[in-house]
Amino acid sequence: MQKRFLIVDDMHQSICVLLAEAGIEAHYEPHISRPELLKIIKNYEGLLIRSKTDVDRELIDAATNLEVIGRAGAGLDKIDVQYVESKGIEILNAPEGNRDALAEHAMGLLLSMLNNIVKADAEVRNWIWDREGNRGDELSDKTIGIIGYGYMGQAFVQRLRAFDCRVLVYDKYKKGFGTKNVEEVSLSKLYDKADILSLHVPLNEETRAWIDKEFIMNFRKNIYLLNTARGEILPTKDLLDLLDSGKVKGAALDVLDKEKFDKLTEEERNQFMDLFSRKNIVFSPHVGGWTFASYKRINEVLVGKIASYYHIEKEG
């Protein structure tokens, strides 16, 4: 019997063709309402999401025939992973599809921050020619501390090698990955040596608000901070305090702890107004890993995993 997959978020147009080539019937419904989704999900063996749909207990309980949930991207924070797995449903994601895009974007943010590129650009456009005020920092004499050595962290480290900087990596769940180019370290050594901190961890209950004021104050040096992971890992209020104290010398942020600006409280809006006024911060709107190439590549990786999953099932 042919498997039926429901796609409920916007995805590259290749997704239906790729699924059909894998022998899967695809129904593309990116604008489906939550009530309609709950009503029809029982008719599908597969569900594909990107970043809009919450896969919670209510949805899983309605999905009585669901076998596979595919996430077109890396993070699984939209999925109640523990409950899904308790129902025997396979979760597949595609970090291989956008790791290169993320790594390149992270490098762009880092270099922009260290060399005041965004600030300098704005000044020149306003007829300000301030060379001394835009003197940059070089990567080659810096120690980069990285937390998280999954697909994204590894791809970022690969780009850093060209700059001859020292790279320290801490990963709570991985051991034995150190090489001559990458030092596997404890948090205490990271605190002691790092000039720059880059975050590459998933969002879960363990990492939510983990990189707070108390965490950053453990660093011996004043540091630069780069976050291309998830905004909820780094509370805005704490970051403002760290910037005020000088403990964080500058930040490059692709993500924020609240990204739906129309739903901000007055306090949150005031915090962001303060953050946005800072000239030592570089922002981008959660587009790390989001390129024209990665948009399509994610589909290819995800459908490849889906095809492999069902091939294994058939043989077993």
Residue reference for tokens 């962290």: 153
- Is 206 marked active-site? no
> Active site includes 230?
yes
One-letter identity of residue 136: G
Catalytic residue among 259, 269, 311, 313: 259
286 is catalytic: yes
Q: Specify the 3-state DSSP secondary structure of 298.
A: helix
Query: Active site residue: 71, 99, 230, 297, which one?
Result: 230
User: Who contacts 153 (Cβ-Cβ below 8 Å, separation ≥6)?
Assistant: 146, 147, 169, 171, 198, 200
> Counting beta carbons within 10 angstroms of the beta carbon of residue 312, is it exposed (0 to 12), middle (13 to 18) or buried (19 or more)?
exposed
Cα–Cα–Cα angle for 30, 150, 14, nearest 5°? Answer: 30
**280/155 Cα distance (integer angstroms):** 26
Q: Which two tokens mark 243?
A: 């910037």
Bridge partners of residue 27, in order along the sequence? 6
8-state DSSP, 55? B
Contact present, 202 and 77 (Cβ < 8 Å): yes
Query: How far, CA to CA in Å, does 196 sit from each of 14, 147, 150?
Result: 39, 11, 19
With residue 146 as reference, give the H or E element that holds it: strand 143-147
Which of 12, 27, 159, 286 is catalytic? The answer is 286
Long-range contacts (CB closer than 8 Å, 24 or more residues apart) made by 134-138 = 137/224, 138/114
- Residue 35 · residue 42 · CB < 8 Å: no
Residues with a known catalytic role: 230, 259, 286
